[in-house]
A and B are shown apart, each in its own frame.
Chain A
Amino acid sequence: MEKMSVILASDEFEKLQAGCMMASVASVSGIEVNVFVTMAAMACFRQKTVDDRRFPKIGEVGQAALRKKAPLFSDLLIQGKEMGSMKVFACALALDLLDATLAEMIPVFDEVVGVATFLGKAEGSQVLFV
Chain B
Amino acid sequence: MSEPSGTSNELIDARGLYCPGPLMELIRAIQTKPVGTVLTVLSSDEGSAKDIPAWIGKVGQEHVETKKLDGYWELVVKKVK
List the interface of chain A (C-beta within 8 A of B): 21, 24-25, 28-30, 68, 70-71, 76, 79, 83
Interface of B is mostly: helix
Bound together, the chains give a CA A28 to CA B28 distance in angstroms of 10
Bound together, the chains give a CA A71 to CA B14 distance in angstroms of 14
Bound together, the chains give a CA A121 to CA B45 distance in angstroms of 35
Q: What's the minimum C-beta distance from A101 to chain B, rounded to whole angstroms? A: 30
Q: What's the minimum C-beta distance from B80 to chain A, rounded to whole angstroms? A: 15
- Is B2 positioned at the interface, with any CB of A under 8 Å from its CB? no
Bound together, the chains give a CA A14 to CA B25 distance in angstroms of 23
Task: Pick the contact of B20: A24, A30, A68 (CB < 8 A).
Answer: A24
Known: A29-B58, A29-B59. A83 touches B28 (CB 8 A): yes
- Choose among B18, B20, B55 the residue with the greatest number of A CB atoms under 10 Å from its CB: B20
Q: How many residues of B contact A (CB 8 A)?
A: 12
**In the complex, are the beta carbons of A83 and B27 less than 8 A apart?**
yes
- Is B77 positioned at the interface, with any CB of A under 8 Å from its CB? no
Task: Provide the residues of chain B in CB contact with A70, threshold 8 Å.
Answer: 18
- Choose among A21, A28, A68, A71 the residue with the greatest number of B CB atoms under 10 Å from its CB: A28
Task: Provide the residues of chain A in CB contact with B58, threshold 8 Å.
Answer: 29-30
**In the complex, are the beta carbons of A29 and B18 less than 8 A apart?**
no
Known: A28-B55, A29-B59, A30-B58. A79 touches B24 (CB 8 A): yes
Task: Pick the contact of A28: B18, B21, B24 (CB < 8 A).
Answer: B24
**In the complex, are the beta carbons of B31 and A83 less than 8 A apart?**
yes
Task: Provide the residues of chain B in CB contact with A24, threshold 8 Å.
Answer: 20, 24
- Is B23 positioned at the interface, with any CB of A under 8 Å from its CB? yes
**In the complex, are the beta carbons of B55 and A29 less than 8 A apart?**
yes
**In the complex, are the beta carbons of B24 and A68 less than 8 A apart?**
no
Q: What's the minimum C-beta distance from A44 to chain B, rounded to whole angstroms? A: 20
Q: What's the minimum C-beta distance from A1 to chain B, rounded to whole angstroms? A: 12
Q: What's the minimum C-beta distance from A83 to chain B, rounded to whole angstroms? A: 5
**In the complex, are the beta carbons of A68 and B18 less than 8 A apart?**
yes
Q: What's the minimum C-beta distance from A13 to chain B, rounded to whole angstroms? A: 15
